[in-house]
Amino acid sequence: MSLSKIHEIASTLENEYVRKWKSEGNAVIGHACIAMPKEVAEAGRILPFRLRGAENADTSTADSYLSRYNCSLCRSCLELVLNGSYDFLDGLVRIRGCDHWMGTFDEIQHAKNPEFMHYLKVPHLVNEDTLDFFSNEIKRLKEAFENRFGVEITEDEIVRYAKVQDKINKKMREFYRLRFKKSRFYGSDAIAIMVARESLPSEAFLPLLESAMAEKKKVEYRAKVLLAGSPLDEIELIRKIEEMGALIVAETTCFGGGSFWNMAEYDGSEIYEFLASKYLNNLKICARMFGEYAYRKNFIKTIAEEAEVDGVILQHNKFCDLFGIENAKLRIDLEREGLPTLVLEKEYASTADIGRIKTRVQAFLERLKR
Amino acid sequence: MTSLPGLVKRSYDLIKTIERLENYTPMEVEGLYRIVGKDLGQSAKALLDERHDGAGLHFMRVIARHIAEAVEAKEDGKKVILIPFNFPPELIHAFENAVPLTTEMMSTIGSLALQGQGEPYWDYAMSLGIPDYVCSANTTALGSMLTAVKGFEIAPDAMISACPGACDANSKIHEFVAETLNVPEFMLDKMGDGVSDYELYRKLFLNMVKELEEFVGEDIDEDKIIEVMERANECTELYWELHELKKHSPCPVPNMFTLFTYGTRFTMWGRDEAISMFEKLVDVAEKRLKRGEYPAEKEIARSLWVYTGYYIDLYDLWIWMENNGITYLTDGLNSFFPAQFEIETKEDALEAIISSAWNYPMTRQMGADNMGIRWFEDLTHVGKELNANCAIYCGHHSCKQTQSVFRIFRDEANKIGIPVLRLDGDAWNRRITPVSVLQEMILDFVQNVVTKRRRRRRR
């Protein structure tokens, strides 16, 4: 039952938990990156809601702001902002995830001029100086929340929510390991769980996850596959891939294992320094972090080995420079190391793309001799 | 591309020939055109055009020196440091044992000086699976660099990436090449416009200098860097003199001088070659002003190119525009706002270079808190100074940042009465949009929008 509830949450934007949260006088802010320190928001009773395209392929209005040369996920999200689907948000935290997202937030400001839009500056490098900088940025975010929403965000509360996040991350790792060997879940279920996590208060999500993990499904497949690459929240796309027999047993994407697998647990240190290190180091899984290619390649290899996958699908949306280039390099290197790899370039939520993608997956499965 | 030498190697051979050119007449240029074929011929015709009074040849010599120093550095045991256009080369010029080589200038040389332009190198990059929407400004030269593993190109010894925070594509393709060639990459990061953003950038820059000194095996000499910066100051003074000359109408500064300006800035700033280049540009423009020279009957459009120009056919775009009364006042790449600095110590020099890097084109606009607004403010500031009556966006299809905020630029420009033309084409790859289409669109815009507005204003 919980799994179907999770799918229901993942298929809507303003879900029942969000409505309840707001009816209790709490705020909801939108963001678009796993660098968002959730603990800081939740400690102020502010729900961090991750923007997603919700499988919306119509970008006609957004295209007059962004261009057709911009990522279709960003265009899809912008369309939803412009048509009012995100009007339940009380503000936005803009994060320079990539150039496309930066432009998207610029255009949101231009078109809608939201009353609250805070720029959280997330460095592209991890070293002593950038960690120090990011720690101050997180403090600045806290102050911006306090000023805007009239709340007090104490360090004790942040620590309390950091521990809640630790509990969820631990549970998510358990869930992933259930999928690795003899999976009782489809990849589409896993993506739905991830999407739900990004759309719910932590305290509401944890019991749903625990109860979903107790459910059992009969899963059939021809090959076990790891999914890597750019942010992917398209449950329907995963379903179509899995219908071909390619069971996704793990994702290293940021709507997947990338968002929690390597996330550090609270160690009792100064909270802002801890959060800076936790989020910036975890962000190394994203191609927007420079000088960390080896880290990402090893992450994929480690998960692929533990999950005993037959191959890897590296996907990205057309016009994504970061993952487009990264996937070209990963394909060469992973193939050289004996891991069969398929690079899939696609348009976000495009049904016109499905036939082509299914053909590519079928060919990949045949290559895997499955 | 089976065994074609790399872009830098081919350019080096070709440029050695150009360096030997001395006095030439239009007839000799025509003869050269016939010998070298259309790709190089169009560039030669444009560069050696009479209106430039030798400045084009001078520019080729400056670029020739830049390339030759990189090629010869390998033989002399010096380090070749590959830099992006948004990194001040003067820092590398301050080393005795290192020379800079600028990625985007190599792609540009590929487009304008080689038969087949940069296409073989672009195609090689594509064959590795790199997507075709990645920026050709980087990918053309870097595609060539990738052939260094087969010995077809000179390999850089290290790379600098100044683009994190300003351009993902640039940063990422440089990372790809550094990983493939297994060479160290030194990186900066730009977060926004604030004091703490500058402080982070400064710290990263100073750390990078230390790492470079260690890598090159030499501490930058204080006297040498002061000399470099004194020459940079001279270049700055001349840059602003040329800028002032552009305020006249008709503009006495030929269209192509903008390309010569930033081509020199991105390669030889801080060197005697750069000073003599700028002296030549100012001298030619001053003489033209005195003589009231302008190639068309009248100047009908003073265009501000808000991003880059096109480098796929210099003659049929830059020269053609001027012949049709369309002045190319300046562009985004040329808007690097150089400043003069008081330099007494090595520390002063480094602080000055950091400040220059921070204000570099693209770093300054695309690394801002709001890309659209900063881009608009910077470029319209220049446009107003130069009395531009229209703006043209080349629409380089791979530039996701400018593409994503062009709407903001256009809306804001319209509010202050500057019409904007959005073209669609690749500045370094002629396969995307033919020159004839670009000409047609520019002419339509000038005749139907710009001149009509001028007439309306007069009434």
Q: Where in chain A is the domain with CATH 3.40.50.11890?
A: 2-153
Give the pLDDT confidence score for residue B306 in this predicted structure: 97
CB contact under 8 A, B185 and A291: yes
> In 3-state terms, what secondary structure has residue B301?
strand
Identify which of B168, B370, B397 has the shortest CB distance to residue A69. Answer: B397
Q: B19 pLDDT exceeds 70?
A: no
DSSP state, residue B396: B
How many percent of chain A have pLDDT more than 70?
100
Q: What is the pLDDT of residues B229-267, one digit of tens each?
A: 999 999 999 999 999 999 999 999 999 999 999 999 999
Q: Please tell me the class of the A156-367 domain.
A: alpha beta
Give the pLDDT confidence score for residue A152 in this predicted structure: 98
> How far off is chain A from B456, nearest CA to CA, in Å?
29
Q: What residues of chain A lie within 8 A of the CB of B133, using their CB?
A: 69, 318-319, 321, 324
CB contact under 8 A, A325 and B408: no
Q: B281 pLDDT exceeds 70?
A: yes
Identify which of B130, B373, B403 has the shortest CB distance to residue A325. Answer: B130
- Nearest residue of chain A to residue B133 (CA atoms): A319
> How far off is chain B from A191, nearest CA to CA, in Å?
27
Which stretches within chain A are classed as H helix?
2-10, 16-23, 38-42, 72-82, 99-112, 128-149, 155-180, 187-197, 202-213, 235-243, 271-282, 293-306, 321-336, 354-367
Average pLDDT, chain A: 96
Domain that holds residue B116: 7-216
Dmax (CA) of chain B: 68
Identify which of A67, A119, A322 has the shortest CB distance to residue B369. Answer: A119
CB pairs under 8 A between A and B: 144
Q: What is the pLDDT of residues B364-380, one digit of tens each?
A: 999 999 999 999 999 99
> How far off is chain B from A121, nearest CA to CA, in Å?
6
Interface test with A, best of B124, B401, B404, B406 (most A CBs within 10 A): B404
Give the pLDDT confidence score for residue B458 in this predicted structure: 64
Q: Give me the DSSP letters along A11-53.
A: T-SS-HHHHHHHHTT-EEEEE--TTS-HHHHHTTTEEEEE---
Q: B327 pLDDT exceeds 60?
A: yes
> How far off is chain A from B444, nearest CA to CA, in Å?
22
Identify which of B191, B397, B403 has the shortest CB distance to residue A123. Answer: B191
Q: What is the pLDDT of residues B57-113, one digit of tens each?
A: 899 999 999 999 999 998 899 999 999 999 999 999 999 999 999 999 999 998 888
Residues 120-149 of B with CB under 8 A from A: 128-131, 133-135
ipTM: 0.96
Q: What's the number of domains chain B is made of? A: 1
Q: B457 pLDDT exceeds 80?
A: no
CB contact under 8 A, B200 and A319: no
CB contact under 8 A, B371 and A103: yes
CB contact under 8 A, A64 and B407: yes
- Residue at B212 is within a domain: yes
CA-to-CA separations, A114 to A46, A117, A293, in angstroms, rounded: 17, 6, 36
- Residue at B102 is within a domain: yes
Identify which of A70, A136, A326 has the shortest CB distance to residue B172. Answer: A326
CB contact under 8 A, A106 and B408: yes
Residues 2-41 of B with CB under 8 A from A: none
CB contact under 8 A, B191 and A103: no
Q: Please tell me the class of the A2-153 domain.
A: alpha beta
Q: What residues of chain A lie within 8 A of the CB of B183, using their CB?
A: none
Q: B2 pLDDT exceeds 60?
A: no
Cα–Cα dist A213/A183, whole Å: 11
Mean pLDDT computed over A114-125: 98
Is residue B115 within 8 Å of B16, Cβ to Cβ? no
Give the pLDDT confidence score for residue B199 in this predicted structure: 98
Give the pLDDT confidence score for residue A205 in this predicted structure: 97
How many percent of chain B have pLDDT more than 70?
97
Mean pLDDT computed over A120-132: 98
Whether chain A has a CB inside 8 Å of the CB on B175: the answer is: yes
> How far off is chain B from A133, nearest CA to CA, in Å?
7
Q: Where in chain A is the domain with CATH 3.40.50.11900?
A: 156-367
Interface test with A, best of B172, B203, B366 (most A CBs within 10 A): B172
- C-beta pairs of B344-348 under 8 Å, 24+ apart in sequence: B344/B226, B345/B222, B345/B226, B346/B220, B346/B222, B346/B225, B346/B226, B348/B229
User: Closest by alpha carbon to B128, among A336, A352, A363, A227?
Assistant: A336
Interface test with A, best of B146, B400, B406, B433 (most A CBs within 10 A): B400
Residue B34 banded pLDDT, cuts 50, 70, 90:
confident
- Nearest residue of chain B to residue A127 (CA atoms): B204
Residue B28 banded pLDDT, cuts 50, 70, 90:
confident
CB contact under 8 A, A291 and B175: yes
Residues 205-224 of B with CB under 8 A from A: 207
- DSSP lists the bridge partners of residue A223 as A246
Q: What is the pLDDT of residues B139-162, one digit of tens each?
A: 999 999 999 999 999 999 999 999
Q: What is the pLDDT of residues A44-84, one digit of tens each?
A: 999 999 999 999 999 999 999 999 999 999 999 999 999 99
Residue A1 banded pLDDT, cuts 50, 70, 90:
low
How many Å separate Cα A339 from the centre of its chain? 24
- Where do we find the tokens 């007059």? A64
Residue A217 banded pLDDT, cuts 50, 70, 90:
confident
Identify which of B128, B175, B191 has the shortest CB distance to residue A290. Answer: B175
Residue B24 banded pLDDT, cuts 50, 70, 90:
confident
Cα–Cα dist B115/B141, whole Å: 15
Q: Which pairing describes strands A311-317 and A341-346: parallel, antiparallel, or unpaired?
A: parallel
- Nearest residue of chain A to residue B403 (CA atoms): A67
How many percent of chain A have pLDDT more than 90?
95
Q: Which CATH number goes with the domain that contains B29?
A: 3.40.50.11890
Mean pLDDT computed over B352-366: 96
Q: Residue B49 CB: number of other CB atoms within 10 A? A: 22
Q: B1 pLDDT exceeds 80?
A: no
CB contact under 8 A, A103 and B401: yes
CB contact under 8 A, B131 and A325: yes
